[in-house]
Amino acid sequence: MFAKSSFWIALSESDGISTSMLEAMEMVAIPFQTSSSFCDEWFENSGVAVHENTSPVVKNAIRDGLSSP
Protein backbone atom coordinates (compact mmCIF):
# COMPACT_ATOMS: atom_id res chain seq x y z
CA MET A 1 0.00 0.00 0.00
CA PHE A 2 2.74 2.50 0.88
CA ALA A 3 4.48 1.95 -2.46
CA LYS A 4 1.51 3.72 -4.10
CA SER A 5 1.74 6.76 -1.78
CA SER A 6 3.04 10.14 -2.91
CA PHE A 7 3.65 11.52 0.55
CA TRP A 8 4.11 10.58 4.21
CA ILE A 9 2.91 12.68 7.15
CA ALA A 10 4.16 12.59 10.75
CA LEU A 11 2.99 15.38 13.02
CA SER A 12 4.40 14.31 16.35
CA GLU A 13 5.41 17.05 18.76
CA SER A 14 8.31 15.15 20.30
CA ASP A 15 9.77 12.62 17.87
CA GLY A 16 13.04 13.16 16.10
CA ILE A 17 13.99 11.58 12.79
CA SER A 18 12.18 8.25 12.59
CA THR A 19 12.97 5.12 10.65
CA SER A 20 9.55 5.42 9.01
CA MET A 21 10.47 8.82 7.62
CA LEU A 22 13.73 7.48 6.21
CA GLU A 23 11.83 4.59 4.62
CA ALA A 24 9.38 7.07 3.07
CA MET A 25 12.28 9.03 1.60
CA GLU A 26 13.75 5.81 0.21
CA MET A 27 10.41 5.08 -1.49
CA VAL A 28 10.52 8.58 -3.03
CA ALA A 29 7.51 9.78 -1.06
CA ILE A 30 7.53 13.40 0.06
CA PRO A 31 7.84 13.41 3.87
CA PHE A 32 5.96 16.04 5.86
CA GLN A 33 7.13 16.10 9.45
CA THR A 34 6.77 18.41 12.39
CA SER A 35 9.95 20.40 12.60
CA SER A 36 12.08 18.74 15.24
CA SER A 37 15.75 18.24 15.89
CA PHE A 38 17.69 18.37 12.62
CA CYS A 39 14.53 17.98 10.50
CA ASP A 40 15.43 20.86 8.16
CA GLU A 41 18.97 19.54 7.75
CA TRP A 42 17.75 16.05 6.81
CA PHE A 43 15.24 17.28 4.27
CA GLU A 44 17.04 20.00 2.29
CA ASN A 45 14.97 19.63 -0.93
CA SER A 46 13.45 16.22 -0.29
CA GLY A 47 10.83 16.93 2.37
CA VAL A 48 8.76 19.53 4.15
CA ALA A 49 9.26 20.58 7.76
CA VAL A 50 5.95 21.65 9.30
CA HIS A 51 6.86 24.36 11.81
CA GLU A 52 3.52 24.57 13.61
CA ASN A 53 1.11 21.71 14.23
CA THR A 54 -2.13 23.55 13.41
CA SER A 55 -4.61 22.76 10.65
CA PRO A 56 -3.96 25.88 8.52
CA VAL A 57 -0.18 25.50 8.70
CA VAL A 58 -0.30 21.76 7.93
CA LYS A 59 -2.72 22.34 5.03
CA ASN A 60 -0.48 25.02 3.51
CA ALA A 61 2.65 22.90 4.00
CA ILE A 62 1.04 19.97 2.18
CA ARG A 63 -0.27 22.21 -0.60
CA ASP A 64 3.13 23.86 -1.07
CA GLY A 65 5.03 20.59 -0.85
CA LEU A 66 2.90 18.82 -3.42
CA SER A 67 3.14 21.73 -5.86
CA SER A 68 6.96 21.97 -5.61
CA PRO A 69 9.12 20.28 -8.26
Count up the domains in the chain and report the number: 1
| pTM score, whole prediction | 0.71
pLDDT digits (tens, 9 = 90+) for 9-67: 888 776 666 777 778 778 888 888 887 766 667 777 778 888 888 899 989 988 887 78
In a domain, 47, yes or no: yes
Which residue range(s) make up the domain with 54?
A: 33-69
In a domain, 12, yes or no: no
**What is the amino acid identity at position 53?**
N
